[in-house]
Amino acid sequence: MMKKCFSGLVLSALLTLYASAAEKITLVLDWYINPDHAPIMVAEQIGAFKAAGLEVKIVPPADPALPPRLVAAGQADLAITYQPQLHFFADQGLPLVRVGTLINTPLNTLITLDQHITSPAGLRGKKIGFSVSGIEEATLATMLQHEHLKPTDVTPINVNFQLTSALMAGQVDAVIGGYRNIEALELQLHGLHPVVFNVEDYGVPAYDELIIVANRNALGQAKINTFLAALKKGTDYLVAHPEETWQTFARQHPDLNNELNRQAWKKSVPLFARDPARLDVKRYQAYEQFLFTHHLIKTLRPVDEYAVELTH
């Protein structure tokens, strides 16, 4: 009995030692947990963070506008945000730097249910629903210009984030801003046949959809590199075991265990950055120029002011 008690004390002491030795990282997501965060969830599933000596606290935000600002204020270590937003933060002088990439392809699309429309050129005279002014208007204008149309050839309508419902109700003929791994699937699950145009196929520079930002003053912290290396292990395992990792995710998050999330999980797998640390400098330069040309940012900056590739 005494031997058993002693063993229990040793185990307890070891666990306490691990907890005190583990590097703590607070990661604030861009929104509630969903299939877009699969590599993070899988890294946690397989113990990659723990094995790397990290204790990662994953926090869904109460307000999706807050995560980067919490990092800028030093109240969180890392946050998930979007490359387009990063350029705006840099323009505002916030001390945020991209250190990693979660999804390295645009998710944004232009979607219609009209099977007769085979390219954005077919949208002449149509009503286009959008949710975010500025960037989505610039994206739509670029796609139309690529097809030799003018922005005035369509009628934009703000549908207040009700993209799929506005499209299904016939309030608009197409929507800009729907994700290829979410809204397009949602329409299919309603028995519809969406026609999907990827923004990067029609003149919009390709960009990283979801990125990881840190405070510029924290770039010397080794735990950021350690986090990215563990995240890569999560991505590698996810790519090798998409069904197994989905089943584990569904068990851990039963409220998210539905057909849309199941399909979104599978659809998202090829979209994740295989090396989260890698930075494509030319891609950031091209998208910065796109925003500057459309008067969405005031200044062009060197990429290393707001995005870096950390050395291991």
pLDDT for position 116: 96
The phi and psi torsions of 182 (rounded to 5 degrees) equal: -130, -75
| Contact in structure between 174 and 199 (CB atoms under 8 Å) | no
For the domain made up of 22-105+208-305, the CATH class stated in words is: alpha beta
pLDDT for position 3: 46
Residue 134's Cβ-count burial label (10 Å; 0-12, 13-18, 19+) is middle
**Matching fold, domains 22-105+208-305 and 108-201:** yes
pLDDT for position 14: 45
Residue range 277-305: average pLDDT? 97
Q: Domain coordinates of the chain in residue numbers?
A: 22-105+208-305, 108-201
Q: Which band of pLDDT confidence, cut at 50, 70 and 90, is reported for residue 312?
A: low
Of 11-20, 21-30, 34-43, 273-282, the range with the lowest mean pLDDT is: 11-20
Q: Which band of pLDDT confidence, cut at 50, 70 and 90, is reported for residue 21?
A: confident
Q: Judge whether residue 2 has pLDDT over 50.
A: no
Cα–Cα separations (whole angstroms), residue 222 to 26, 43, 193: 15, 18, 48
Q: What proportion of the chain, given as a percentage, has pLDDT over 70? A: 93
Q: Judge whether residue 18 has pLDDT over 50.
A: no
Q: Which band of pLDDT confidence, cut at 50, 70 and 90, is reported for residue 17?
A: very low
CA atoms within 13 A on the CB side of 78: 27
Of 12-26, 28-42, 53-67, the range with the lowest mean pLDDT is: 12-26
SS3 state of residue 64: coil
pLDDT for position 111: 98
pLDDT for position 143: 98
pLDDT for position 133: 83
Distance from first CA to last CA of the chain, Å, rounded?
A: 48
Q: Judge whether residue 6 has pLDDT over 50.
A: no
What is the rounded average pLDDT for all residues in the chain? 93
45-59 residue pLDDT tens: 999 999 999 999 999
pLDDT for position 13: 47
Answering whether pTM is above 0.85, one says yes
Q: Judge whether residue 8 has pLDDT over 80.
A: no
- DSSP-derived letter for residue 189 is H
162-213 residue pLDDT tens: 999 999 999 999 999 999 999 999 999 999 999 999 999 999 999 999 999 9
Q: How far apart are CA 28 and CA 154, in angstroms?
A: 38
Higher local confidence (pLDDT), 10 or 251: 251
pLDDT for position 64: 87
Q: Judge whether residue 73 has pLDDT over 50.
A: yes
Architecture, CATH, for domain 108-201: 3-Layer(aba) Sandwich (3.40)
110-169 residue pLDDT tens: 999 999 999 999 999 999 999 988 999 999 999 999 999 999 999 999 998 899 999 999
